[in-house]
């Protein structure tokens, strides 16, 4: 929504007391905005601090969730919830590095349980695998937009992730069937115009 000059002028005419009341009323209705302002104004923790806390939380929560792998639908629900917490972290802190590193960590943490995942029927585990593939692709898209100085750190995560994917026969085949090249799991190998490549892949009905 665009705000007209007249609307902005009217808001500026409010007294400080009226503005304070309006701000607190809005913050009560928007918890995310409230958390973001708190972080930007007075939170003693830095973005790095919060990212490190998220890393620990992801590992712990995926480990606890692993006992539900036998119920893939519920397990995926838990993983989506953890992903939502990452999204909130990124929105609050504007942590572009963490948007990649935390999502790669989440995917890697799930695949640490490859042995249990491999025991599931493919039909039951398919949605989880497709979710992990799309999460990986999104991370690659984001890496391509970030400074190359970060690539070495991402490559360590991508190499670990690649090893786990290739240890999971069903997931490895699904990556290939969705036309995702394993060579792309290295920052310098992500193609130019990667977004257009993925758009074309999706237009052919893959990654869905």
Is the distance from CB of 65 to CB of 79 less than 8 angstroms?
A: yes
Contact criterion met (CB below 8 Å) for 159 and 182: no
- Give the model's confidence band at 44: pLDDT under 50 very low, under 70 low, under 90 confident, else very high: very high
Closest CA to 33 of 70, 76, 88: 88
> Of 8-12, 83-87, 113-117, 164-168, where does mean pLDDT reach its minimum?
8-12
Nearest to 154, CA basis, from 137, 165, 139: 139
Among 133, 99, 144, 127, smallest CA distance to 202 is for 133
d(CA 140, CA 207): 14
Q: What is the pLDDT of residues 90-145, one digit of tens each?
A: 999 999 999 999 999 999 999 999 999 999 999 999 999 999 999 999 999 999 99
pLDDT band, residue 1 (cuts 50/70/90): low
The whole-model pTM stands at: 0.92
Tell the residue number behind the tokens 């052919």, with chain if given: 204
Q: In angstroms, rounded to a whole number, what is the distance separating the alpha carbons of residues 1 and 11?
A: 16
* Percent of the chain as helix, strand, coil, to the nearest 5: 80, 0, 20
- Give the span between the Cα atoms of 86 and 121, in whole angstroms: 29
Three-class SS state of 168: coil
Is pLDDT at 2 greater than 80 in this prediction?
no
Tens digit of each residue's pLDDT (9 = 90 or more) over 142-194: 999 999 999 999 999 999 999 999 999 999 999 999 999 999 999 999 999 99
Q: Hey, what are 208's tokens? A: 């869905």
Backbone angles phi, psi at 162, to 5 degrees: -60, -45
In the block, which residue shows the tokens 């948007």? Answer: 99
| Least trusted range by pLDDT, from 8-12, 30-34, 45-49, 110-114 | 8-12
């Amino acid at each position: 929504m665009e705000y007209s000059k007249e609307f902005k002028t009217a808001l500026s005419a409010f007294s400080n007391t009226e503005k304070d009341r309006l701000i607190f009323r809005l913050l009560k209705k928007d918890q995310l905005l409230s958390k973001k302002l708190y972080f930007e104004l007075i939170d003693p923790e830095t973005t790095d601090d919060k990212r490190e806390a998220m890393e620990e939380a992801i590992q712990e929560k995926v480990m606890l969730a692993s006992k539900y792998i036998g119920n893939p639908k519920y397990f995926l629900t838990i993983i989506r919830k953890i992903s939502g917490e990452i999204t909130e972290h990124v929105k609050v802190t504007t942590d572009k590095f963490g948007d990649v590193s935390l999502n790669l960590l989440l995917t890697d943490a799930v695949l640490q349980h490859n042995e249990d995942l491999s025991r599931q029927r493919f039909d039951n585990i398919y949605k989880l695998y497709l979710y992990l593939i799309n999460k990986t692709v999104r991370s690659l898209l984001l890496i391509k937009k970030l400074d190359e100085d970060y690539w070495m750190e991402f490559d360590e995560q991508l190499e670990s992730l690649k090893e786990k994917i290739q240890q999971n026969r069903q997931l490895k085949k699904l990556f290939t069937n969705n036309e995702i090249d394993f060579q792309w799991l290295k920052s310098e190998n992500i193609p130019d115009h990667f977004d257009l490549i993925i758009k074309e892949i999706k237009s052919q009905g893959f990654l869905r």
